[in-house]
Structure 1
Amino acid sequence: MSKIYLSPPDVGQLEESYALAAIRSGWVAPLGPDVDAFETELAERIGTAYAVATSSGTAALHLALLGVGAGPGQVVVMPTLTFAATANAAVYTGAEPIFVDCDPATGNIDVDLVEQLLELLRAEGRRVAAVLPVDMFGVCADYDRLLPVCARAGVPVVEDAAEALGATRSGRAAGSFGRTGVLSFNGNKIMTTSGGGMLLTDDAELAARARYLATQARQPVTHYEHTEIGYNYRLSNVLAAIGRAQLRRLDGMIRRRRELRDRYAKMFAAVSGVRLLGDSDPGGNCWLTTIVVEPEESGWESVELAAHLAAREIETRPIWKPMHLQPVHAGAEAVLTGAAERLFATGLALPSGSAMSDGQSERVLRAIDEFLGGR
């Protein structure tokens, strides 16, 4: 029995043809015409003036934070419920992360807590480089409220939209909020370039600075001249070609993930104590369908379902372990309500990949039904 994975890459003949064309063109090293075209096409899709293709979403986050001036002696306010890359990028700059708890309905950063924290930090005279929200599992943060809060505090927003390509809020695309936004094209994301990322912005100076730093901060002279430290952060032309093919298929891949989410929603609609995280937001891209199980009401825990599915070669994953619980960030400042810890204890991401066949989907649903029947 073949294993069903959480969110494997969805690639096929179109991606193969684009990659082969890039190889045959001779542009196999970083940069090239497919990188330029990918940046243009992605910026047009998101609605920003500039896009900078990078080797990873983490690299894009690092460049974005450098672009807004993050550095030693400053703090970056971010959600505790996120992947490690969000916090790592802040630490790379020399700034310190301050973690904020989440809205239990969506997993996104709690805007009320952000507002209170920014007021406290201002009163203490501390320098805030940025607020770094994360669009959790493909649902945009509450930017209708968050952007005014940050504007009043004079703090730029760097949007971590790594999980949210194709999502929208209030008619705007994920990645277009704040001074700069960041996407990821890791292998498990909504679309992939194998590895890769993108920095998005309307700020011409910030985009130019990001390109410069991402190419080892090389000066524009015929010999290799460097006046400051740079990074090897640019995207391969071959991988950009794959990304261009994926972008053509993006809407279809989102539709497929939405179909799978709808099947899960019907499955759990009558199950007491179970809800879908962020299900009330119609603009989500349905990257990973995640259920939240309240054992006091359901009579079972998410880890029990995970074990049942694992025994049948079906992959699941808990919600991100909060950053304030990670050993590497022990002692970091955090503003907590307990919401993120509760989601970590009760949440479970289910197979959601757009490449999942109807037969595989039925297999997952039968296994869940079998589990529920036993309860």
Structure 2
Amino acid sequence: MESKIWLSSPHMGGNEQSYVNNAFDTNWIAPLGPHVDGFENEIQNYLKEDSLVAALSSGTAALHLALILLNVKQGDEVICQSKTFSASANPIVYQGATPVFIDSEEDTWNMSPEVLETAIQDRIKKGKKPKAIIAVHLYGMPYKATEIHSIANSYHIPVIEDSAEALGSTYKNIKCGTFGDIAILSFNGNKIITTSGGGALVTKNKAIREKAIFLATQARDNAVEYLHSSIGYNYRLSNVLAGIGRGQMEVLEDRVYARRQNYDTYKATLSAIEEITFLDEPKDFYSNRWLSCILTPSETIREGLRLKLLENNIESRPLWKPMHQQPVFKSCPSYLNGVSDDLFKKGLCLPSGSNLTESELDRVITAIKTYFRA
């Protein structure tokens, strides 16, 4: 059997090892150190917009801290995009709060501004004004930031921008990860750049960044003894992993270019198949194309194609199953228009790694064409 083609595998740039070696040579094998500082500065310089960054152990940790920093507590409600990975919603439950799920719109597959406003008005009528909104840039496609943030501002609800999949994407030439009151990034192994496991919290507020770092390092007070007046967490990124991140930041633009090239190749070679459609970028939207996704006419065809690719040792996956369909969230309020359910039935993520070779792309394309000719 031919070698496995993965959906999105890590892709080293070449200099990561030198940063890691430096951490070992200088004995900075700890959740602090010069590479953590350097990594944070490099992300800040990349994002611009007066961004301040706290490097953390995961994107999920960043989301959890964001909710804590926005004072989300037991009994509160937090609005969350339904079409996302469960890590967007799980931290809401960590805080004892209730997720309120919002359906998608068809232009970007992200949170529908119309459904969002309907939900906010209805929750307020029920006496439960949402404490925060978690909006996601799905698969690297920016959400409708102008509309979403305008609605949030009109009701004075802060937005947590889940940019876990969107480092390198822009909206109106502004980098994703800079729109929210607090934003989060992920450097998990399958992301556009990786630190193996890791993430970051992004804010423009110095006090929020400092509080995030304080909480992420077990909330130790400034005292000679180990003094704690707040509950803390072990959420800081290690100096070793930050070294990997520094090497990855050097090749970020190359990784965005490669993934966009994957998408362009798929579209150029598969658009003639009438059963396949693609998600184009609306005006002012620039996606890193973290994953290249297609829509098919039905769940049966989508699943048949997935199995055909699997026969050829090619990994593909359905689009995220909406959170309102997940058993663990079945009792949570949801405001639906049918878009995310339809996307889940018909959508498939194709191999999208920046390290895909031309021959591997040809294998994927050939398998897809063979399926639709059968």
TM band (smaller chain): over 0.9
Equivalence map 1:130-209=2 (5 Å): 130-209=132-211
Q: Could you tell me which residue of structure 2 aligns to residue 43 of structure 1? A: 44
Q: Is the 8 A contact 1:292 1:343 kept in 2?
A: yes
Which letter maps to 1:45?
Y
Give 3-state SS (helix, strand or coil) of 2:365's partner. helix
Once residues 73 and 348 of structure 2 are traced to their aligned partners in structure 1, the CA distance between those partners, rounded to angstroms, is: 36
Equivalence map 1:1-375=2 (5 Å): 1-47=2-48, 48-280=50-282, 282-295=285-298, 301-374=301-374
Once residues 32 and 78 of structure 2 are traced to their aligned partners in structure 1, the CA distance between those partners, rounded to angstroms, is: 31
Question: What is the CA deviation profile of residues 53-99 of structure 1, one whole-angstrom value per residue up to 9, with x for unaligned ones?
Answer: 00000000001111111111211101111111111011112211000
Once residues 371 and 273 of structure 1 are traced to their aligned partners in structure 2, the CA distance between those partners, rounded to angstroms, is: 11
Once residues 115 and 82 of structure 1 are traced to their aligned partners in structure 2, the CA distance between those partners, rounded to angstroms, is: 19
Task: Give the superposition deviation at 1:241.
Answer: 0.7
Shift of the 91–295 alpha-carbon distance from structure 1 to 2, 3 Å rule, reads closer
Task: Give the superposition deviation at 1:50.
Answer: 1.0
Task: Give the superposition deviation at 1:149.
Answer: 0.6
Shift of the 196–102 alpha-carbon distance from structure 1 to 2, 3 Å rule, reads same
Give 3-state SS (helix, strand or coil) of 1:127's partner. coil
Give 3-state SS (helix, strand or coil) of 2:251's partner. helix
Q: Is the 8 A contact 2:13 2:251 kept in 1?
A: no
Once residues 20 and 352 of structure 2 are traced to their aligned partners in structure 1, the CA distance between those partners, rounded to angstroms, is: 26
Once residues 315 and 345 of structure 1 are traced to their aligned partners in structure 2, the CA distance between those partners, rounded to angstroms, is: 18
Q: Is the 8 A contact 2:270 2:369 kept in 1?
A: no
Unaligned 5+ runs, structure 2: none
Once residues 190 and 226 of structure 2 are traced to their aligned partners in structure 1, the CA distance between those partners, rounded to angstroms, is: 37
Task: Give the superposition deviation at 1:279.
Answer: 4.2
Question: What is the CA deviation profile of residues 136-186 of structure 1, one whole-angstrom value per residue up to 9, with x for unaligned ones?
Answer: 000111001111110000000110000000000012111101211000000
Q: Is the 8 A contact 1:107 1:278 kept in 2?
A: no
Task: Give the superposition deviation at 1:125.
Answer: 2.6
Once residues 51 and 171 of structure 2 are traced to their aligned partners in structure 1, the CA distance between those partners, rounded to angstroms, is: 19
Unaligned 5+ runs, structure 1: none
Give 3-state SS (helix, strand or coil) of 2:136's partner. coil
Once residues 174 and 209 of structure 1 are traced to their aligned partners in structure 2, the CA distance between those partners, rounded to angstroms, is: 23
CA RMSD of aligned residues (A): 1.4
Once residues 295 and 85 of structure 1 are traced to their aligned partners in structure 2, the CA distance between those partners, rounded to angstroms, is: 27
Which letter maps to 1:62?
H
Task: Give the superposition deviation at 1:104.
Answer: 2.6
Q: Percent identity?
A: 40
Which letter maps to 1:114?
L
Give 3-state SS (helix, strand or coil) of 2:54's partner. strand
Q: Is the 8 A contact 1:73 1:127 kept in 2?
A: no
Task: Give the superposition deviation at 1:247.
Answer: 0.6
Give 3-state SS (helix, strand or coil) of 1:133's partner. strand
Once residues 269 and 65 of structure 1 are traced to their aligned partners in structure 2, the CA distance between those partners, rounded to angstroms, is: 42
Which letter maps to 1:321?
K
Q: Is the 8 A contact 1:121 1:127 kept in 2?
A: yes
Once residues 301 and 35 of structure 1 are traced to their aligned partners in structure 2, the CA distance between those partners, rounded to angstroms, is: 46
Aligned residues: 371
Shift of the 278–58 alpha-carbon distance from structure 1 to 2, 3 Å rule, reads farther
Give 3-state SS (helix, strand or coil) of 1:159's partner. strand
Once residues 17 and 360 of structure 1 are traced to their aligned partners in structure 2, the CA distance between those partners, rounded to angstroms, is: 29
Q: Is the 8 A contact 2:298 2:345 kept in 1?
A: no
Once residues 12 and 172 of structure 1 are traced to their aligned partners in structure 2, the CA distance between those partners, rounded to angstroms, is: 25
Which letter maps to 1:133?
A
Question: What is the CA deviation profile of residues 296-319 of structure 1, one whole-angstrom value per residue up to 9, with x for unaligned ones?
Answer: 9xxx61111111110000000011
Once residues 20 and 13 of structure 1 are traced to their aligned partners in structure 2, the CA distance between those partners, rounded to angstroms, is: 13
Task: Give the superposition deviation at 1:368.
Answer: 1.5
Q: Is the 8 A contact 2:263 2:289 kept in 1?
A: yes
Task: Give the superposition deviation at 1:12.
Answer: 4.4
Q: Is the 8 A contact 2:258 2:354 kept in 1?
A: yes
Moved more, 111-120 or 135-144: 111-120
